Amino acid sequence: MRPIADIAANMGLDPEALIPYGRYKAKIPLEAVGEGAARGKLVVVTGITPTPAGEGKTTTTVGLTQGLGRLGVSAAATLREPSLGPIFGIKGGGTGGGKARIEPEDEVNVHFTGDAHAVGSAHNLLAALADNAVRLGRIPGLTPAGVTLRRVSDMEERSLRQIAAGLGGANNAPVRETGFDIVTASEVMAILALSSGLDDLRQRLSRMVIGYADDGRAVTADVVGAVGSMMALLRHAILPNLVQTTEGQPVIAHTGPFGNIAHGCSSVVGDRLALAHADYVLTEAGFGADLGFEKFMHIKARSSGLLPHAAVIVATVRALKNHGGVRVRDLDPPAPAAVEAGMANLRHLIGVIRSFGLPVVVALNRFPADTAEELRIAKQGSEEAGAAAAVESTAFADGGAGATELAEALIDATAAADPCAAPEPNYAYALSDSLEDKVLAIARRVYNADDVSWSASARAQLRRFTDLGWGNLPVCMAKTHLSISDRPERKGRPSGYTFEVSDVRASVGAGFIYPIAGNIVTMPGLPSNPRSLDVDASGAIVGL
C-alpha cells in the first residue's frame, strides 16, 4: 500500500487537508468535496439477479477501476462500507477479492473509521430519547404502542428480531413490543448516504418519524428534541473515507445502506468528491439491477442530480447456469443449454437499464470451469439484447491487466457522452404519480409483472401516508434479491404473475416510501457455520 497522502495528492487533493486514520486511510473534509466542479463520467456497476454461486460485483468494480488506470485513465471507485454482520456471517468481507481488492481490507472490513458505530449510536440515541419522552408524557397523544422506531445492531442476531422492552416495573417503562434491525437497515444510514452536507443531514434527521400520536399525526425526531445530539454523533461520519485499490487507484468507501429496505448505494458526497477529481467514477449499487440500479436511478440520482453516463452489469456463466436450472453444487460441468436458458434474466435486466436511456456494458466475470461455448452464448445473447459490448474479465486472477479490455469497452460506450451533462433518464414514473401507480410502473417495467395486489393493511397505510403529504415521495421496493419477482424461487425471467405487496412503511427523512413484498427480514440471522476470524502473532486479522 502507498501512504494515503500520496493517493490524495494524485487525485489533486491537498494532503494537508486530510484527517488521517493511520497511514493508509483518511477522512476528507466536506470543504474539499465542494471545491471542484464535476469533470468525470459516472458509471453505475450493477449485476444480474444474485445467486449462491456469487457474481463478484465488487471485485469487478475494483478491477475495472484498475483496468482504466492501466490505460492511463484517471479513475476512482465509490463503494459502500462493509457491515460487520455479513463479515461474520456468510459473506466474509466486502472489499473485493484476489488481485482486485480495497486496501487495507482488514481495517475496511472491521470497524474502519467508526462510521457504522456512529450511525448505530445516533439511531439508538433517538430511540432512547423517544422512549424517555413517552415515559414522561412529554409528547401529547404519543403512547408506547404508537412508537414505531426499532433499535439497531451491527451484528446478525435473529433472537432480537422481536422483543419485549421495558419489563421489570414502572422504573423501566415504557413496556412495548419492539425489535432490532441491522445497522445497515437504519434510516439514519440511508439519510447519511443521501445527504449533501451538514445542513441537509440536519433537515433529513429532523423529518425522521419515530411514531404516531393517537390523532394520527406523525411524531418526528425534531419533536423529540434529538436532532442536535444526533448531529454531534454524525459530524465525522458524513466525511467521506479515502482508501485505495491493490494497484493504487483511489477508492471512496463511505456509508452502507441496506440494498433492500434502503437504497443500497454509497454516499452522495463521496460521488461528488470523486467526480471532481477523476475522469471515470465507478459506483456500485447493491444486489441486482432490479434493486440497486433501479433505486440508484429513482432515489439517489433523482434527488442528488448525480446522473450516470452508463452502466456495467456483472454476470457469470455459473450464475446463468443457476438461473437456467442447474443446482449450485453442479455448476462446474459444461451446460450450454442452461446458460442459454439463464440468459433470460440477463437479457431482461439489460433491457431494464436501457429503458432508462443508458448504454450498458456486460462484464463476464470469468471462472476457471467456463467453456468457450458457454462464454460465446453469454456474449452473443448480451449483444443481441442491446448491450454495447460483452467482455470477459479476469480481474480476480490478474488485477487491472484482466480488466483492460472491459475498460476499453466502457470508454467506447461512453465516448460520445459529455462528462458535464449526463442525459436525463427516462424514469419509470413521475413523482406526482400516486404511490400505487409508482409501484405498478416498477412492477411492470423492472419485475416483469402483469399487475400488483395489495393487502388490506398495505392499502390503509398508503391512504395514511398520502393524507400525511408523503404521496410525492419515490418508492424504495423491499423484496427478495434472489429473483426479479417477489418470490425467491422464481428464477430467470418470471412472467404472467401478480406482484404482491404485504406492507408499506415510510422513511420520510431519507425521502422515500418502502412497500414490502414477501417476508423481508431487516435483522439477518447467522448461518449454521458462522465465519471465524482470528489474528496472527503480529496482530493482523486472518480469515477474511
pLDDT digits (tens, 9 = 90+) for 288-298: 999 999 999 99
91, pLDDT greater than 70: no
Is the dihedral angle over the CA atoms 210, 211, 213, 217 positive or is it negative? positive
The reply to whether CATH 3.30.1510.10 applies to domain 115-234 is yes
Q: What is the mean pLDDT of residues 226-242?
A: 98
Q: Which neighbouring-strand residues pair with 315?
A: 364
Q: For 454-466, how does the pLDDT look when each residue is reduced to its tens digit (9 = 90+)? A: 999 999 999 999 9
Question: Which of the listed CATH numbers 3.10.410.10, 3.10.450.50, 3.40.50.2300, 3.40.50.1860 matches domain 435-516?
Answer: 3.10.410.10
Inform me whether the pLDDT recorded for 346 exceeds 70. yes
Among 32-36, 39-43, 121-125, 525-529, the range with the most confident prediction by mean pLDDT is 121-125
The helix/strand/coil state of 44 is strand
- Which residue(s) pair with 97 in the sheet? 100
| Segment among 86-90, 109-113, 282-286, 484-488 with least mean pLDDT | 86-90
Structural domain 37-82+248-413, CATH architecture = 3-Layer(aba) Sandwich (3.40)
**Grid coordinates representing 254?**
463511505
The per-residue pLDDT for 541 is 85
Helices (H), 296-356: 302-304, 317-323, 336-355
Give yes or no for residue 35 having a pLDDT over 90.
no
What's the pLDDT tens digit per position in 349-367? 999 999 999 999 999 999 9
Return mean pLDDT, the chain. Answer: 94
DSSP state of 498: E
In the chain, the percentage of residues whose pLDDT exceeds 70 is: 99
Residues 263 and 259: their CA atoms lie apart, in Å, by 5
How high is the pLDDT of residue 92?
67
Average pLDDT over residues 393-398: 98
pLDDT at 248 over 90: yes
pLDDT band of residue 89 (cuts 50, 70, 90) is confident
Res 36 pLDDT > 80: no
All residues at 6 or more sequence positions from 62 whose CB lies less than 8 Å from its CB, including other chains: 77, 96, 100, 101, 102, 245, 246, 251, 395
Burial of 125 (0-12, 13-18, 19+ CB in 10 A): middle
On the question of pLDDT at 527 being above 90, the answer is: no
User: What is the C-alpha to C-alpha distance for residues 141 and 229, in angstroms, rounded to an integer?
Assistant: 24
What is the per-residue DSSP string for 409-472?
Answer: HHHHHTTT-BTTBPPPP--SS-TTS-HHHHHHHHHHHTS--SEEEE-HHHHHHHHHHHHTT-TT
Indicate the SS3 state at residue 364.
Answer: strand
Q: What is the DSSP letter of 307?
A: -
What is the distance between the alpha carbons of residues 70 and 215, in angstroms, rounded to a whole number? 62
Domain spans, the chain: 37-82+248-413, 115-234, 435-516
At 139 the three-state DSSP class reads coil
Other Cβ atoms less than 10 A from the Cβ of 237: the count is 24
pLDDT of 448 strictly over 80: yes
Q: What is the pLDDT of residue 122?
A: 98
Query: Helices (DSSP H) in 148-197: which residue ranges?
Result: 187-194
